[in-house]
Amino acid sequence: MSFRAIRPDEFEWITRPHEPGEPARHVAELSDAIGSTHVRGNVWRYEPGARGKRHRHPIQEETFVVLAGELSIYLGETPERVDVPTGGVVNVPPGTPLQSANHGDVDLLVYAYGYPPEDATADLLDPAV
């Protein structure tokens, strides 16, 4: 059996585009690094006040595991805010609009994985926050 393991100090963080003065989001893209072929996995780090883009995946189911901080996630056509503390998990079915945010005062760390991995970009939507 073949396996790969990556320690957190080996993550290659990519800073996502953001406006000057706006808190940043950073992603460690893990799927290729660990040789994953059936799921897409990333670790996201949101600085305090950072928020992602509201989007929807047509075929990909996503699950978010909060590793540190508290995730505020806005779900549904009429966005409903759900706060997920450290150790909590939220599952988002395909086609569900979502937007993630860090309303706390410490970095938010989230492991996100999706199945099946989509090759196309998600549909971008008007922001909830």
Q: Looking at residue 117, what DSSP letter applies?
A: P
Q: Name the burial class of residue 1, with classes exposed (0-12), middle (13-18) and buried (19+) by CB atoms within 10 angstroms of its CB.
A: exposed
Q: Which numeric CATH code is attached to 14-124?
A: 2.60.120.10
- pLDDT per residue of the chain (129 residues) written in tens, 0 to 9: 588 999 999 999 999 999 999 999 999 999 999 999 899 999 999 999 999 999 999 999 999 999 999 999 999 999 999 999 999 999 999 999 999 999 999 999 999 999 998 877 799 999 999
